[in-house]
Structure 1
Amino acid sequence: MSDDSPTTASVKASESPEATETDAPARRPNLADRYHRGMDVLNVDRHRLCLQLYLVIVIAHWAEHIAQAVQIYVFDWPLAEARGVLGIPFPWLVTSEWMHYGYALIMLIGLLLLLPGFTGRARTWWTVSLLIQVWHHFEHLILLVQVSNGVHLGGGDAPSSLIQLLIPRVELHLFYNTLVFVPMAVAMYLHSRPNPAEREAMRCSCAGDPPRSGR
């Protein structure tokens, strides 16, 4: 008498790995899975590309502040007319506090999102840039709140941040953007030229292949 009865065959089929893999429902990715996957794309798979795009945005904004300072101190333009490059055809880019705050927020978010991809010395410098931008963002938030409620810090005619009570706005925010950019640039440089311990900890390919040791 054969042992391959219908009941026995169904038990064998249920015990086979193939049947288990096929019949098991695929787990849908939850919010945490999507977050971790997104962070891997930013800091592992596409870290170099994301850093390059972020650097372009930062330099473009920094250049606008430099252009505005040149218009004031080199070309002797009135302050109201010194609006950088894009601010000349689009004055609202300079006059809108929402625009200034939005950029400060985007820059802060970018520094936060791209931090996990850094290791060692580069991570330290990137964190310095992040901390400076936290304060820079706070200063812009103070300006935005004043515009929203119509009450100005120090009772002045225009919104003012805390340090702006001591340093004029044009010079202050050029200084802020420079302070954020310099450690960020140092971090990117060190990230592309890691020491052996830093390279070992890296998960991205920003540094390329390690140099070959000479014989």
Structure 2
Amino acid sequence: MTRIGTTRPLHLLNTSGHRGGLALFMVVVVAHWAEHLAQAAQIYIFNWPVPEALGVLGIPFPWLVTSEWMHYGYALIMLVGLLLLLPGFTGRARTWWKISLGIQVWHHFEHLLLLLQALSGLNIGGGAAPTSLVQLLIPRVELHLLYNALVFAPMVVAVLLHRRPGDTERAAMNCGCADRYEEVVDG
């Protein structure tokens, strides 16, 4: 017997709701990417000083850029989204989704470390601002672009493979995400 409130919603998300859940998740991911790309354009194309390069939403809401809570919250949403949608993937797509998930686990850890420093006031190396481990080697703006690219690239591969599965993968799928070429051709 299935318990209401535990496995049933997860089952629905990874069967009949997988296409919609995945689409919503990807909209959030792409919107986040747009913010990082806008900030990078402000810095590298328009030559804005880093403290003034706030992305699109950061211009009217500058506290968003400096809020470790907001950054941590997004990292957590990404981690949870990747975990919740994982059961709907099969075969090669599942492998690529797990790669994205593994990278996001580290990215989440780095944001947790930043949040803990912001809350405690104890920054790595006694610095003036919270610093992640890899940020000791790569500046924060570039590091966030790198992390997001490393999570996003295998995610895109996973989604493309999931939408166009091989015969064995299609037979193992419990969702309606796969493109239906036969219906389009026979139309």
Partner of 2:129: 158
Cα deviation 1:88-136 (Å, max 9, x = unaligned): 0011110100000000000100000000000000000000000000000
Q: How far is 1:210 from its partner? A: 5.9
- The aligned amino acid for 1:50 is G
Identity fraction in percent: 66
Matched, 1:95 2:62: no
SS state at 1:204 partner? coil
Moved more, 170-179 or 200-209: 200-209
SS state at 2:50 partner? coil
Partner of 2:41: 70
Partner of 2:162: 191
- Superposed CA RMSD: 1.7
Match of 1:171 among 142, 163, 166: 142
Match of 2:152 among 153, 165, 181: 181
Give the Cα separation in 1 of the matches to 2:130 and 2:5.
40
Give the Cα separation in 1 of the matches to 2:26 and 2:71.
18
Q: How far is 1:208 from its partner? A: 4.2
SS state at 1:134 partner? helix
Q: Structure 1 unaligned runs (5+)?
A: 1-28
Partner of 1:18: none
Aligned residues: 185
Q: Structure 2 unaligned runs (5+)?
A: none
Q: How far is 1:79 from its partner? A: 1.0
1:89-128 maps to which residues of 2 (within 5 A)? 89-128=60-99
Partner of 1:34: 5
Partner of 2:182: 211
Cα deviation 1:157-187 (Å, max 9, x = unaligned): 1110000000000000111011111100110
- The aligned amino acid for 2:25 is Y
Give the Cα separation in 2 of the matches to 1:127 and 1:88.
35
1:1-80 maps to which residues of 2 (within 5 A)? 32-80=3-51
Q: How far is 1:80 from its partner? A: 0.9
Normalising by structure 1, we get a TM-score of 0.82
Q: How far is 1:33 from its partner? A: 4.1
Larger Rg: 1
Give the Cα separation in 1 of the matches to 2:11 and 2:30.
25
Normalising by structure 2, we get a TM-score of 0.94
Larger relative CO (CA 8 A, sep 6+): 1 or 2? Answer: 2
